[in-house]
Amino acid sequence: MARPSIVPIALTVDDRTGYTLWAPPWEEDGEEWQAFLGTSEGDTASVHLFPSPAALAAFCRSRTDHDLADHPVWPVVAGLGADDLTPDDDHRYDLDGVYDIAAENPDRWAVEELAATVDIVSRLAECLDVGDEEDDLDDELTDVGDDRDVDADVDLDRRPGSEVERGGEFGALADLVARPEVGSLGLGVDAFVGRSGEDAWLGVGGALDDLWEDVLEELGAHLDWTGGGTVGVADYPSAAEAEDADEDDGLEDDAPTAASSAAATVPAAAAAPGVSRIARPGRVAATPAEVAAAAGFWEGVGILPVEVVVPEGAGLTLRCYVDDRARFLGRNGEVYLFPSPADLARFCAGDEEHDLTEIASWPDVADTATPPLPADEDRYDLTSFGEVLREVADGAAGLVEHRALVQPVEGARDIAEYAGLARVDELLRPTQPLGRAVALAERQTGAPLRAEDAAALRPAWDELVTAVSGALVFRD
């Protein structure tokens, strides 16, 4: 099991966005636990939500009367600022948007987003359901009681094996997750391929139509929109205002937070003096809904927008695969990068020759008005992982997982394949330190990255980034 960590998350419900903290499952005294930032009074448990990461940070600095106060890394979290408590894109859950997602085609983004949303609501319910824990439940949903000795009536944490009871306090949610079509979300996009897959996707939409409003009503009774009594409901921005504020913060800071690194955890060293925040933002400011809307066109033509971040800067390009080999928008092994979707689209509409011109669907790309917006899976921040390695080597060992390596390596491999970068291939061989780390990341994604591993990988990663950067051409 991964080391204990605490992750900032955002929930959007009824066009209102609130920020809170989630402690993913960790082991303590031989038991597995997970928790949210909240408290319990009598028979009611609540999750505290805040109108901004700054309000969340202020609460964390000044209050210990909550259910995360005894978490192993709480002393670190209590010292973090708003930047470090800003959720990354993977930990923002739009509970209002599930109907729109279900109305789309079941591509990998739609399936993964719906699966993640149902999962976080289920985890909330597991921790918030403080009903009779002695009841015997059916085989499908088994509630594991909280047998930790505490002074408070009920702690807002539960073992991850616990689930909510059908017919109980979260009965609508239990009914929803019991639907086989909803259960298929966890299998990924392959569960929704073909005629039977189409029927299953329609079943997901039907289940949401039947039960989601009831699920939100059940959950809403446990959402504290006063931030533990520190703010008022009027302080919360609308969902659109929250997105704009987050984008503005990213532009002002010119660096995302430690919490929005590829590891998606709060590093223990983040509170230490002299430790810099990791990662940089790209130049693309688009909402998940805008990205999802554009994805249909780009997937249809088989050419996807890609963002690459290297020390020299961030830029957008296009990539497809021909005979399972990566091919980019470029020429003679050089990848063209553009500073914005508009700049990339303008180039595509021109008549300059490049290596994608001969692709059969290129005329559709040249004529489209659909903006080239990269999905999260197609954004490769090579700079961020280098900074992760430095952070880990300098004291954040154990709180960054090997999975942080997977996505940037994927991008580096594709560029190296297109540009013929033999040195990158050498560095990623299984016999080399970097190649061994990649193999471990693929086998054990949750394996923690040790300080000595990070120190050994740093020079190899820096050499890889230098090689990849040499194949990039920044265009106006």
Distance CA 272, CA 473 (A): 37
What's the pLDDT tens digit per position in 176-195?
A: 999 999 999 988 888 998 88
Q: At what angle do helices 406-419 and 433-443 cross, to 10 degrees?
A: 130
Check: CB of residue 1 under 8 Å from CB of residue 32.
yes
Please report, for residues 185, 190, 286, the alpha-carbon distance to residue 111 in angstroms, rounded to integers and kept in the order given.
6, 10, 20
Please name the helix (run of DSSP H) or strand (run of DSSP E) that holds residue 21, with its range, or none: strand 16-28
Query: Phi and psi for 380 in degrees, rounded to 5?
Result: -120, 100
What's the pLDDT tens digit per position in 137-168?
A: 333 333 323 333 333 333 454 434 445 555 56
Q: At what angle do helices 194-220 and 108-128 cross, to 10 degrees?
A: 30
Please name the helix (run of DSSP H) or strand (run of DSSP E) that holds residue 249, with its range, or none: helix 239-253
Can you give the pLDDT at residue 164? 56
Mean pLDDT of the chain: 80
Structure tokens at 218: 């059940």
How confident is residue 248, by pLDDT bands cut at 50, 70 and 90?
A: low
Please name the helix (run of DSSP H) or strand (run of DSSP E) that holds residue 425, with its range, or none: helix 422-427
Q: Residue holding tokens 């154990």?
A: 398
How confident is residue 398, by pLDDT bands cut at 50, 70 and 90?
A: low
Distance CA 76, CA 399 (A): 12
* Cα angle value 282/286/287 (rounded, 5°): 130
Can you give the pLDDT at residue 270? 31
Which segment, 7-11, 246-250, 285-289, is predicted with the most confidence on average?
A: 7-11
Nearest CA among 157, 138, 188, 212 for reference residue 40? 157
Q: At what angle do helices 108-128 and 171-178 cross, to 10 degrees?
A: 140
Mean pLDDT of 304-332: 93
What's the pLDDT tens digit per position in 374-397?
A: 988 899 999 888 887 887 777 665
Please report, for residues 219, 235, 473, the alpha-carbon distance to residue 338 in angstroms, rounded to integers and kept in the order given.
44, 38, 9
Q: Residue holding tokens 């539960």?
A: 158
Residue 108 or residue 329, greater confidence: 329
pLDDT reading at 272 higher than 50: no
Measured torsion, CA atoms of residues 87, 304, 336, 324, in degrees rounded to the nearest 10: 120
Distance CA 179, CA 187 (A): 14
Residue 375 or residue 250, greater confidence: 375
Can you give the pLDDT at residue 243? 65
Whole-model pTM: value is 0.51
Residue 160 or residue 400, greater confidence: 400
Could you tell me the residue ranges of all domains in the chain? 7-235, 254-476
What's the pLDDT tens digit per position in 96-142?
A: 999 999 998 888 889 999 999 999 999 999 988 865 443 433 333 33
Distance CA 19, CA 5 (A): 17
Can you give the pLDDT at residue 165? 57
Can you give the pLDDT at residue 244? 62
Distance CA 442, CA 460 (A): 19
